[in-house]
Amino acid sequence: MTSFFGDIQKIAFEGVDSTNELAFRHYNPDEIIMGKPMRDHLRFSVAYWHSFAWEGGDPFGGPTFDRPWFGDEMALAKMKADVAFDMFKILGQPYFCFHDLDVRPEGSNYAENTCNLEEITEYFEGKMAETGTKLLWGTANMFSNRRYMSGASTNPDPEVFAFAAATVKSCMDATHRLNGENYVLWGGREGYETLLNTDLTRELDNMGRFLSMVVDYKHKIGFKGQILVEPKPQEPSKHQYDYDVATCHGFLQKYGLENEVKLNLEQGHAILAGHSFEHEIALAQSLGVLGSIDMNRNDYQSGWDTDQFPNNVPEVALAYYHILKGGGFTSGGTNFDAKLRRQSLDPVDLIASHAGAMDICARGLKAAAAMLEDGGLESALNDRYAGWSSAQTKDVMDGATLESLTNWVKEQDINPAPKSGKQERLENYVNRFV
């Protein structure tokens, strides 16, 4: 262990009555929920970038954090890794994830970047073997460097497209070597600032071409992980092509990738798109593209992507309700793509924020499982659509036309009676569990 976290011990489950700030009250990794341990349902992951690479700046002020590993040298990158894996040991979450830029020093060209990434990948291999922490996903940062200011795969300059392709290749190689369970593409600047200078059709076609190359390369190297795209409607671009679940699904279908690529859904991005998180999860489930989640909320007033740790049990419970209802995660998990507020300077803030988030998610998961086991929402849903299950309806609807239904309405003098949607009663029901 390094000295960064002082004498903070591994966080333990102490039960709901514990008043210990650094203890789990709900996250009991071995507790069996709907037939499997909580740990395997939630599959928690820590995002390297927010906790170890982000310096606390905002548009009005520079860094607020003062970490001993800040700087662009290999020795500092390794110190950062040492502290990161210390935190993973303290939290005991099974996974982490990273962008290339979070973990390696920035080189002066592609060859140096790749060489640096390979050195850190080897270092991670040792750390992962020592701690048992696994890689949920790897990804490439193709939005911070100024070469990407007009996009990566959607850049008007084919040289940037090629540089981005080479960068993704190196990040997929690193992810594969570390047995990553997914590979994520968030379209950081895949969008536009103004349509006045944007060839929309060309950019979308290039994005489709790029993603097809990613899928081809995955098969070529035998990477068994799932390729995931992460929707977000805007920020940093004014408009981003991966706007939301519905847009991404349409895009995947257009380029014939709907059976190869799934989605990584982030609560904050759902909010920016004007949706609830459960809307995005339920829609992805229904379209067969739910992959993984980034469980970090936005401030509802600011309208920015504030990447805050989750702290709202009812919201989290409904998210897990839809995840469990669809059978739970396979390769995906619960990644905290969340950062401290820039005034939360202390090392203990990093631990408390993650531990609290894990506890909130465990509470939400337990509530979701209890609702599913009780079956109240399911039976209300079955009642509401019961008409579609009757033998008579099936006969009438089989091969129905406007004329056949008109005849049926006339012959049977069909005169439907409106029925209550019971929304308040269902909301009251949910409140019994959360």
* Contact residues: ligand XUL, CB under 6 A: 99, 139, 184, 186, 230, 232, 266, 294, 305, 337
Site string for Co ion, 413-432 (x = CB under 5 A): --------------------
Contact call for residues 172 and 218 (beta carbons, < 8 A): yes
Q: Which is nearer to ligand XUL, 280 or 294 (CB)?
A: 294
Question: Rounded distance, CA 102 to CA 399, Å?
Answer: 57
Q: How far apart are CA 300 and CA 404, in angstroms?
A: 49
Binding mask 271-300 for Co ion (x = CB under 5 A): -----------------------x------
Residue nearest to ligand XUL (CB): 186
The CB-of-344 to ligand XUL minimum distance in angstroms stands at: 19
Tell the smallest beta-carbon distance from residue 294 to ligand XUL (Å): 5
- The reply on whether position 307 binds Co ion by CB under 5 A is no
Give exposure, 193-230, as e/b (b: 16+ Cβ within 10 Å): eeeeebeeeebbebbbebbeebbebbeeeebebbbbbb
Q: Give min distance, CB of 316 to Co ion, in A.
A: 16
Q: Nearer to Co ion by C-beta: 105 or 332?
A: 332
**What is the Cα–Cα distance from 345 to 337, expressed in whole angstroms?**
18
Least CB distance to Co ion at residue 337 (A): 4
Minimum CB distance to ligand XUL, residue 306 (Å): 10
Exposure string for 132-158, b = 16+ CB within 10 A, e = fewer: ebbbbbbbbbbbbeeebebbbbbbeee
Contacts of 281 (CB under 8 A, 6+ apart): 265, 290, 293, 319, 322, 323
If contact means CB under 5 to 8 A according to the sort of partner, which of ligand XUL, Co ion, none does residue 232 touch?
ligand XUL
Q: Which amino acid is at 222?
A: G
305 binds, among ligand XUL, Co ion, none (CB under 5 to 8 A by kind): ligand XUL
Q: Smaller CB distance to Co ion: residue 181 or 294?
A: 294
Do 184 and 226 form a contact (C-beta atoms < 8 A)? no
Partner that binds at residue 139, options ligand XUL, Co ion, none, CB closer than 5 to 8 Å by kind = ligand XUL
Measured from the CB atom, the residue of 203 and 307 that comes closer to Co ion is 307
Instruction: Please report where in the chains the tokens 């004007």 appear, as a residue.
Output: 274
Q: Taking CA 316 as the corner, what is the angle to CA 338 and CA 189, rounded to the nearest 5 degrees?
A: 40
Give me the residue label for tokens 């899928």. 215
Told to judge if 102 belongs to the known catalytic residues of this protein, a careful annotator would answer yes
* Contacts (Cβ under 8 Å, ≥6 apart) of 171: 99, 100, 117, 138, 139, 140, 183
Where b means 16+ CB within 10 Å and e means fewer, 37-63 reads: ebbbbbbbbbbbbbbbbbebeeeeeee
CB of 212 to ligand XUL, least distance (A): 20
Residue (270 or 434) nearer to ligand XUL, CB: 270
| Distance, CA of 224 to CA of 226 (rounded, Å) | 7
Structure tokens at 85: 């894996």
Q: Choose which of 203, 242, 337, 359 interacts with Co ion (CB under 5 A).
A: 337
Q: Give the one residue of 100, 102, 244, 266 binding Co ion; rule: CB under 5 A.
A: 266
The site string for Co ion over 207-246 (x = CB under 5 A, - otherwise) reads: ----------------------------------------
CB proximity list for 257: less than 8 A, separation 6 or greater:
208, 211, 212, 215
CA distances from 325 to 81, 221, 317 (A): 37, 34, 12
Nearer to Co ion, 280 or 294 (CB): 294
Taking the least distance from each CB to ligand XUL, the nearer of 203 and 266 is 266
- How many Cβ atoms sit within 10 Å of the Cβ of residue 170? 19
CB of 371 closer than 8 Å to CB of 430: yes
Binders of Co ion among residues 58 to 87 (CB under 5 A) are: none
Decide if 234 contacts 240 (C-beta within 8 A).
yes
CB of 218 to Co ion, least distance (A): 20
* Residue in 41, 50, 100, 102 annotated catalytic: 102
- Selecting among 99, 176, 249, 275, the annotated active-site residue is 99
Q: Per CB under 5 A, which region of 51-59, 104-112, 258-266, 426-434 contacts Co ion? A: 258-266
- Which parts of 125-283 are beta strand (E)? 134-139, 182-186, 191-192, 226-230, 239-240, 261-266
Give whichever of 173 and 294 is closer to ligand XUL, judged by the CB atom. Answer: 294
Region of 82-90, 170-178, 332-340, 408-416 interacting with Co ion (CB under 5 A): 332-340
Q: Name the binder of 278 from Co ion, ligand XUL, none, CB < 5-8 A by kind.
A: none
For residue 47, the minimal CB distance to Co ion (Å) is 7
Give the active site residues: 99, 102
Residues that bind Co ion in the complex, under the rule CB under 5 A: 266, 294, 337
